[in-house]
Amino acid sequence: MIVSPSLLSANFADLKSDIDMINRSEADWLHLDIMDGVFVPNISFGFPVLKAVAKICTKKLDVHLMIVDPGKFVNEVKALGAYMMNVHYEACPHLHRTIQQIHDAGMKAAVTLNPATPICVLEDIIQDVDMVLLMTVNPGFGGQKFIEHSIEKVKALKAMIERIGSKALIEVDGGVNNETAPRLAEAGVDVLVAGSYVFGSPNPEERIISLKNL
Ligand code: DX5
Ligand code: ZN
């Protein structure tokens, strides 16, 4: 399993310690949530903070943009040295062009779906993306309850990927913990994002290992 801890639940008063922990840990990626207060009803952190984080983080950066018109920021995300740029289907009227721009900038491209967006909208783009990020809570906040229907959605997405012959990975984000993660793994998930489950623990590295072993 690929594990991508979400910095949203880290201690913002001491980010350095949490990033040192991530660097030491078996995490594969670091998930970074950018919010604009428009696409989602919350604001997280922006590029000045991300630049400081990117400088000291040795893991691949998995950047999740919960903002309107994310295509405007391809160059800024690229400048961070990001590995994966996730844009929401709901925020991109010209999704194919945005995916192309992300690839042209040398990054992997992921399309993200809100819980109420059906996977059928991916039919004509799934072959062009490196990953699909399924939101398993409504985006905007950490620590929310997992939406149970997501398990069926992962299974259906897995079947679509196999039918079309796409190489896209499946990532899930929201409510991942020791109860939901094994069921998500079984349903076909490749990448687990976990915020409060990792950073809310006195032993985050152990929790990362438990997710890795799924
Ligand atoms: C929510 C963010 C998530 C968040 C997940 O909008 O996209 O990445 O950090 O938090 P948990 O794992 O606590 O549900
Ligand atoms: Zn996220």
Instruction: Tell me the pLDDT band of 170, cut-offs 50, 70 and 90.
Output: very high
Q: What is the pLDDT of residue 114?
A: 99
Q: What is the pLDDT of residues 70-124, one digit of tens each?
A: 999 999 999 999 999 999 999 999 999 999 999 999 999 999 999 999 999 999 9
The minimum-distance atom of ligand 1 relative to the CA of 140 is 6
- Among 35, 136, 141, which residue has the most ligand 1 atoms within 8 Å of its CB, making it the best to mutate? 141
Bridge partners (DSSP) of residue 182 are: none
Q: What is the pLDDT of residue 102?
A: 98
C-alpha 195 – ligand 2 centre gap (Å)? 9
Q: Where are the domains of the chain?
A: 2-212
Instruction: Tell me the pLDDT band of 145, cut-offs 50, 70 and 90.
Output: very high
C-alpha 87 – ligand 1 centre gap (Å)? 15
Sign of the alpha-carbon torsion through 70, 74, 76, 80 = positive
Instruction: Tell me the pLDDT band of 165, cut-offs 50, 70 and 90.
Output: very high
Q: Is 210 in the pocket of ligand 1 (CB under 6 A)?
A: no
The minimum-distance atom of ligand 1 relative to the CA of 31 is 8
pTM of the prediction? Answer: 0.98
The minimum-distance atom of ligand 1 relative to the CA of 6 is 9
Q: Is 196 in the pocket of ligand 1 (CB under 6 A)?
A: yes
- Please report, for residues 64, 123, 182, the alpha-carbon distance to residue 195 in angstroms, rounded to integers and kept in the order given: 13, 30, 16
Instruction: Tell me the pLDDT band of 181, cut-offs 50, 70 and 90.
Output: very high
Catalytically active residues, by annotation: 33, 173
Q: How far is it, in rounded angstroms, from Cα 59 to Cα 45?
A: 19
Residue reference for tokens 């995916």: 99
R_g over Cα of the chain: 16
Nearest to 171 by CA among 128, 112, 213: 112
Q: What is the pLDDT of residue 64?
A: 99
Q: What is the pLDDT of residue 2?
A: 99
Q: What is the pLDDT of residue 50?
A: 98
The CATH code of domain 2-212 reads: 3.20.20.70
Considering only CA atoms, which residue is closest to atom 6 of ligand 1? 139
